[in-house]
Structure 1
Amino acid sequence: MSRDCSFLRDLPLSAEQVSFATEDRAEFGTDYGVVEADASPPDAVVYPESTEDVSVTLAAANERDVPVTPYAAGSSTEGNAVPVAGGITLSMERLDSILGFRPDDMQVDVQPGVVGEEMDAHVADEGLFFPAFPQSAAFSTVGGMIANDASGIRAVKYGEVREWVLELEVVKADGTVIEVGTKARKTSAGYNLLDLIVGSEGTLGVVTRATMDLAVAPARTLGGRATFDDLDDAAAAITEAVRAGVDVATIELIDPLTAEIANSYTDAGLPPVPMVFFELHGRGVDREAEVLSGIFERHGARRIETSEDDEEMTDLWRARREIGRALPEYDPDRVLDVVGDVTVPIGSYPEMIRFIGEVGDEYGIPIPAFGHAGDGNAHYAILVNRDDPEEVDRAHEAAETIVRGAIDRGGTCTGEHGVGVGKRGYLTREYDPAVLSTMRDVKEALDPNGILNPGKIFE
């Protein structure tokens, strides 16, 4: 659907901040989870350089009922930032400054275009870090992480991004600028609008500044890898470790197929068997490692390796860290068509991992499974031949079966990737109609004309 965005030329924006060029628009028609064949470019791209730029653009678009889709680094997997109704893409890449750092408060103020690793590097000299970054922090932006309420490998200890966001500057659909939250670490004053914005995928407002809480870097970090002969044993070992209260900062699982894919990419020479990767933080890592190793051994671990040396830890973890790069390279005849995540209660995690493999067998499509096992978050990837419509259909049916299986086990259709376009249809299964109606009421109250990232979350 084409929209007339010529009014952008009349706004107080420089010529370099507005583009109607085909190549620029095409760049924002895809993300990591949307293949080029399904691209949906906007009619124009705006590159704001200040909060005021965002405000005037939204106010003008709102007056004309023109959709506006915020876009960060494009690392999302569910089409979260890809326009579905044309209009304007608001590229936040130039809002990339660190505005303030208060080591004594353990806080940093950033614009949404700041890349995660850059923020971490900025605070590292003061012995601080941001523990909730997803594994994509090397290229994902803070704004995108907030929009999706991202989490990552350390969520089992440190939680999701939302638990580390203190205050946000947000531009509403009509251009009004508000601040939500507080720089204090706790408050019970009024409605929690901060948590309403976090995870809303740009459908309720556009974040232009964030105050992030920080943690003290651990005195010691011990990393390791354990290999198992049986996937059920590996998953059960993780569940027991979490239930036993082992203070893991990270505990990750990859199945044999994922191990094979990662090994073929890294040339690490590891066997294609289930692997568990873990990190322990703090002064008591030796005691925690001993307890963890005992649990692994009771569940049949064939080998357990640990190290505190950074290079050795990197080597131990290589098979897990390279999965994102390895998947698209594994089969030259197939593209990465589905990258999904579901989360189930921790007691159901072994069953869920086994179920993903069974779904792959049922539909005749290999589906590697891996993920943040410590909090019940399972990831799955489906590679398909896009020239084979029947295989594409089977792949999507398999993905749907996996998601429904997670919800039926008391879980959720997405633990950290967000709803976007790809998971919209599952909300009716996960939530009561009255809950969805309430969500729509919130959307209508904050964005009555429906211009902010339309077509996301709700069908």
Structure 2
Amino acid sequence: MGALLDSLRDRIPGGRIVADPDVISAYAHDEAQWAPYGTPAALVRAGSTEDVRAVVTVCAGLGVPIVPRGAGTGLSGGANALDGCVLLSLEAMDEIVEIDPVERLAVVQPGVVNDALRLACAEHGLWYPPDPASSPWSTIGGNVATNAGGICCVKYGVTRDYVLSVQAVVGRGEVVRLGRRTAKGVAGYDLCGLMVGSEGTLGVITEVTVRLRGARAPERTVVGYFDDLRTAGEAVSAVIAAGIVPSALELVDRHCLRAVDAWRNMGLSADANVLLLGRGDLPGEAGEAEADAMARLFKEAGATWSARSEDEAEAEALFTARRLAYPALERLGPVLTEDVCVPRALVPEMLARIEAAAVEHDTHIANIAHAGDGNLHPLIIAPAGDDAARERAQRAFDRIVADAIALGGTVTGEHGVGLLKRRGLHDELEPEVIALHHAVKAALDPAGVFNPGKVFGDPA
């Protein structure tokens, strides 16, 4: 450790290197419940690409693991410390370098908060669509590392669809630019795309260029109340089958509604067991017809009540409740968050299987979902200090992962693999495909120091 700290201090300005264990402990893990984490050797709060390059050069030379992290809002353990590692915090690299209204792009450092970028773009009449529920706190670097999605991704796609290029530190300290600023370009392999969703295992991203959209038309909100999850799932399938592409289609169940009511007294759980929130942003008469069609499809699928919301404040409150569901449930006890994705037509079946897993394992499971693209977020709750309940919750977690794979789905739609989904990833991918990933890792990380053990580590 002495050689490591001396080498870092020789290359990085004073004050950026932290060895105080009390300070470091606050950075040692993300928000994933029950994901293991170790004791770091040091924390570096990088202020520039040169700081990152110095850390990578030193660590590669000494064989010391590097664990990059942003705001720590991840839910899979991807930013959790390893024993003896250097935690590399990028939160101080928070400059919006450029917004180009003509080319419709922005250049940002990885520590820029998602909502801060969106607000800055709005000043130019532009819009950055990816909007994870953690957008008020999560950073663009973390969003890129996990290929984050969000509420509007059913129509507008996920982070990967907006990343034009990245600057990254790879290998033994080489600084590279991957991708391009042009609207089109197919020269060489898509190494930029490879970095998106790599969870810090291939290098450290120090700058991101993202494409932007023009400001969109005002949205119309449709609300449906349902008695049960399967019926709400049938409504989702009906909307998709009708060819409607909503700008949002979100599901919130009774457990989440009650938790939000208990916290914020919004009065939602008195009216519905399951709330389905649809939005559309087509302009003019087409938008009117789209909203009316969604309301009708909700009703035909079995909604006890459905209607367009004519009150913008009310509509925003409903989507606020959707975003508050996770922190509201956290007040009840530790929450193990799932993130499976299945074909959209199979959303009703997957929701039924999640309910069956809750019964089979005697576990409290709440549900929120980006239902329009098949991305479900079962929230598995176990009382603090109850080891038996925790074991049942983990078995339910594994059952849900297995069911998603059995239905032709995937173990993660947007949260990443990190530590929690490694076994599921090996179940989902063929051994030959796993081997390809290891070959890519070896090529870009010859010293084996970038977030080792995450994603494709030993799933045992």
Identify the TM-score tier after normalising by the shorter chain: over 0.9
**C-alpha separation between the residues in 2 aligned to 1:140 and 1:388?**
30
Give the SS at the match of 1:322: helix
Q: How does 1:4-403 map to 2 (within 5 A)?
A: 5-34=4-33, 38-270=36-268, 271=270, 272-283=272-283, 284-307=286-309, 310-329=312-331, 331=332, 334-336=333-335, 338-403=336-401
Q: Which runs of 5+ in 2 are unaligned?
A: none
The count of aligned residue pairs is 453
What displacement does 1:84 show? 2.5
**C-alpha separation between the residues in 2 aligned to 1:394 and 1:439?**
32
What displacement does 1:41 show? 3.5
**C-alpha separation between the residues in 2 aligned to 1:216 and 1:243?**
28
The answer to whether the 8 Å contact 1:33/1:76 transfers is yes
Amino acid at match of 1:126: H
The answer to whether the 8 Å contact 1:266/1:322 transfers is no
**C-alpha separation between the residues in 1 aligned to 2:310 and 2:445?**
50
**C-alpha separation between the residues in 1 aligned to 2:453 and 2:353?**
31
What displacement does 1:309 show? 5.0
The answer to whether the 8 Å contact 1:226/1:305 transfers is yes
The answer to whether the 8 Å contact 1:228/1:303 transfers is yes
The answer to whether the 8 Å contact 1:69/1:82 transfers is yes
The answer to whether the 8 Å contact 1:11/1:57 transfers is no
Give the SS at the match of 1:126: coil
**C-alpha separation between the residues in 2 aligned to 1:387 and 1:138?**
31
The answer to whether the 8 Å contact 1:170/1:207 transfers is yes
**C-alpha separation between the residues in 1 aligned to 2:2 and 2:324?**
40
Amino acid at match of 1:137: S
Larger deviation, residues 356-365 vs 8-17: 8-17
The answer to whether the 8 Å contact 1:5/1:88 transfers is no
What displacement does 1:287 show? 1.1
Closer, same or farther in 2 for the Cα pair 1:6/1:124, shift >3 Å?
same
Closer, same or farther in 2 for the Cα pair 1:101/1:388, shift >3 Å?
same
Give the SS at the match of 1:414: coil
Closer, same or farther in 2 for the Cα pair 1:182/1:175, shift >3 Å?
same
Larger deviation, residues 227-236 vs 442-451: 227-236
**Partner of 1:421 in structure 2?**
419
**C-alpha separation between the residues in 1 aligned to 2:89 and 2:14?**
15
1:237-281 deviations in Å (ceiling 9; x for gaps): 111101211130000112222222222222122225111012211
The answer to whether the 8 Å contact 1:146/1:161 transfers is yes
What displacement does 1:34 show? 4.0
Q: Which runs of 5+ in 1 are unaligned?
A: none
The answer to whether the 8 Å contact 1:3/1:87 transfers is no
What displacement does 1:193 show? 0.4
Give the SS at the match of 2:262: helix
The answer to whether the 8 Å contact 1:11/1:56 transfers is no
Identity of aligned residues (%): 35
Amino acid at match of 1:135: A
Closer, same or farther in 2 for the Cα pair 1:66/1:314, shift >3 Å?
same
**C-alpha separation between the residues in 2 aligned to 1:3 and 1:430?**
42
The answer to whether the 8 Å contact 1:234/1:274 transfers is yes
Match of residue 448, structure 2, among 447, 450, 454: 450
What displacement does 1:404 show? 0.6
The answer to whether the 8 Å contact 1:221/1:308 transfers is no
What displacement does 1:302 show? 2.0
Amino acid at match of 2:319: W
Closer, same or farther in 2 for the Cα pair 1:97/1:131, shift >3 Å?
same
The answer to whether the 8 Å contact 1:48/1:95 transfers is yes
What displacement does 1:293 show? 1.1
The answer to whether the 8 Å contact 1:247/1:288 transfers is no
What displacement does 1:3 show? 8.9
**C-alpha separation between the residues in 1 aligned to 2:432 and 2:83?**
27
What displacement does 1:4 show? 5.9
**C-alpha separation between the residues in 1 aligned to 2:205 and 2:327?**
29
Cα RMSD for the two superposed structures? 1.6
Give the SS at the match of 2:168: strand
What displacement does 1:418 show? 0.3
1:143-188 deviations in Å (ceiling 9; x for gaps): 0000000101111100110000001101103110111111112222
TM-score (norm 2): 0.95
The answer to whether the 8 Å contact 1:58/1:174 transfers is yes
**C-alpha separation between the residues in 1 aligned to 2:363 and 2:120?**
44
The answer to whether the 8 Å contact 1:28/1:41 transfers is no
What displacement does 1:310 show? 4.0
